[in-house]
Amino acid sequence: MPGLLLGDVFPDFEADTTIGKIRFHDFLGSSWGILFSHPRDFTPVCTTELACAAKISDEFKKRGVKMIALSVDSVEDHRNWSKDVMAFNSEAGTALPFPIIADDKRALAVQLGMLDPDEIDKDGIPLTARCVFVIGPDKKLKLSILYPATTGRNFDELLRVIDSLQLTAQKKVATPVDWKPGDKVMVIPSLSEEEAAALFPNGVTTKEVPSGKKYLRYTQP
Ligand code: BEZ
């Protein structure tokens, strides 16, 4: 992903989408955002992913996250493909609950480093990989994930990381392996014992380890 690092302001691009022309920062407003790219319309794995994203779109809404997809086909193709996606979900006739960006010139795919050199179309041009960008209300990149075209993503995992991102944006904690909302979290290493005691009224428990170092500190947020 050349040029775009965690903490960078996400590019404020203009694009044609299934809801008309957008400017990305205006589209986001003061919300969190998730942009997920797809190699191509009318492809099997992409269809299962979009269908899943549509099915759990209320979960993103609950978290205040605006969703937008991208693929390298036209708005017209996206509109037709959306009908297949909703029919796949047995919801034919219902609109896809988020827009799709038409990146048919691959301008954004290039700008955001999304091309997958292993997946080539019939004209020998690379397709987009399965990128995920989570953008905060400050328009800065909070998380990026890059999968090859041949591996579908897990959208429950995307909700889980958004829960972690939103919690850790508010509190001086970090979420351990396989954390889920409601589980204990870890106190970040930069906090002193005194600061941690003051910040976490539910208490801090420290796991003893052979080194004697007190870095495995848990609290209930
Ligand atoms: C798919 O969505 O099924 C797909 C797209 C491009 C390459 C491989 C799979």
Sign of the torsion formed by the C-alpha atoms of 105, 107, 108 and 113: positive
Atom of ligand 1 nearest to the CA of 48: 2
- 114-157 pLDDT, tens digit per residue, is 998 888 988 888 999 999 999 999 999 999 999 999 999 999 99
What's the predicted TM-score (pTM) here?
0.96
CATH 3.40.30.10 residue spans of the chain: 8-153
Give the chain's end-to-end CA distance (angstroms, integer): 33
Q: Is 46 a catalytic residue?
A: yes
- 152-203 pLDDT, tens digit per residue, is 999 999 999 999 999 999 999 999 999 999 999 999 999 999 999 999 999 9
Residues with a CB atom less than 6 Å from ligand 1: 39-40, 43-46, 119, 127, 149-150
Provide the CATH topology of domain 8-153. Glutaredoxin (3.40.30)
Q: What is the DSSP letter of 11?
A: P
Provide the CATH topology of domain 171-219. Antioxidant, Horf6; Chain A, domain 2 (3.30.1020)
Active-site residue identified among 15, 28, 35, 46: 46
- 31-72 pLDDT, tens digit per residue, is 999 999 999 999 999 999 999 999 999 999 999 999 999 999
What's the 43 CA to ligand 1 centre distance in angstroms?
A: 5
Enclosing H/E stretch for 51: helix 44-55
CATH 3.30.1020.10 residue spans of the chain: 171-219
- The whole-angstrom separation of Cα 11 and Cα 28 is 12
What's the 181 CA to ligand 1 centre distance in angstroms?
A: 32
What's the 152 CA to ligand 1 centre distance in angstroms?
A: 9
